[in-house]
Amino acid sequence: MGIIDRFRIENAVQTYDFWLELRGMRSRRRKEARRELRTNLRDAAADVGVTQALFNIGSPKELAYAMTPEATQRPRWSLGAMWASLAFVVVVFGLMYTASTFTSGVDASGVVGRQVTGFVFPWFGVDFMARIEPNRGGLAVGAGNAQWYVLGLPLLAFVLAARPWRAFTQKAS
């Protein structure tokens, strides 16, 4: 079996695992479920080919739902990590874009040779800094206190999506 075929099978297995986790299946059982599906898919692929083997199991999401008729309320760590990563990318891109725009504004204003600091909506608490050297001698860009956004927003996204308090409420019940 080639690398691409192995990747296609593993992709289906990991998608299946993702949905199993969302349905609240514990990690030990998910590990068993992953192993079983992987083995079955490889056997089927050897028999009828990878494409047909994947077609026959249908959607990994629907398979995961069929495997777990009753979802349990457990933390959804994978979903949390996914949203945290997305929030991180958005925040970093937003900060870089804003800093670039701020620097362009400073450059357009003709202020050279000294550091300019300012606030840009909606980045409350973040000090954007830009310094344009005379005669196009270079520039320096910065954003102070941005760590609250870079770390805080992804953490918030993680907590809201993963719902870690379910681990405690489940133990209490």
Partner 1 sequence: MSIHDAQMLKGVLALLLLSLLADEDNYGYGIVTALREAGFTDLAEGTVYPALTRLEAAGHLESYLQRSASGPARKYYRTTADGRADLVARRESWHDLVASVGRVSGLTPSVTHPKEN
Enumerate binding residues for partner 1 (CB under 8 A). Answer: 32, 35-40, 42-44, 46-47, 53, 56-59, 62-63, 66-67, 69
CB 158 within 8 A of CB 76: no
Closer residue to partner 1 in complex, CB, 10/43: 43
Q: How far is the CB of 75 from partner 1 (least distance, A)?
A: 22
Cβ at position 46, least distance to partner 1 in Å? 7
Give the nearest distance from C-beta 173 to partner 1 in angstroms: 21
Residues belonging to the chain: 173
> At closest approach, how far in Å is the CB of 169 from partner 1?
24
Identify the bridge partners of residue 141 per DSSP, sorted by sequence position. 130
Residue nearer to partner 1 on the CB measure, 37 or 161: 37
Q: Please, are residues 166 and 73 in contact by the beta-carbon 8 Å criterion? A: yes
Per DSSP, what are the bridge partners of residue 127? Answer: 144
Q: Which C-beta is closer to partner 1: that of 37 or that of 143? A: 37
Nearest to 170 by CA among 34, 52, 72: 72
> Cα–Cα–Cα angle for 5, 80, 170, nearest 5°?
110
Closest separation in Å from C-beta 66 to partner 1: 4
Toward partner 1, which CB reaches closer, 29 or 97? Answer: 29
Query: Distance between CA 42 and CA 53 in Å, rounded?
Result: 8
Q: Which residues of 40-64 are buried (b: 16+ CB within 10 A; e: fewer)?
A: ebbebbeeeebeebbeebeebeebb
Identity of the residue, 46 or 151, whose beta carbon is nearer to partner 1 in the bound complex:
46
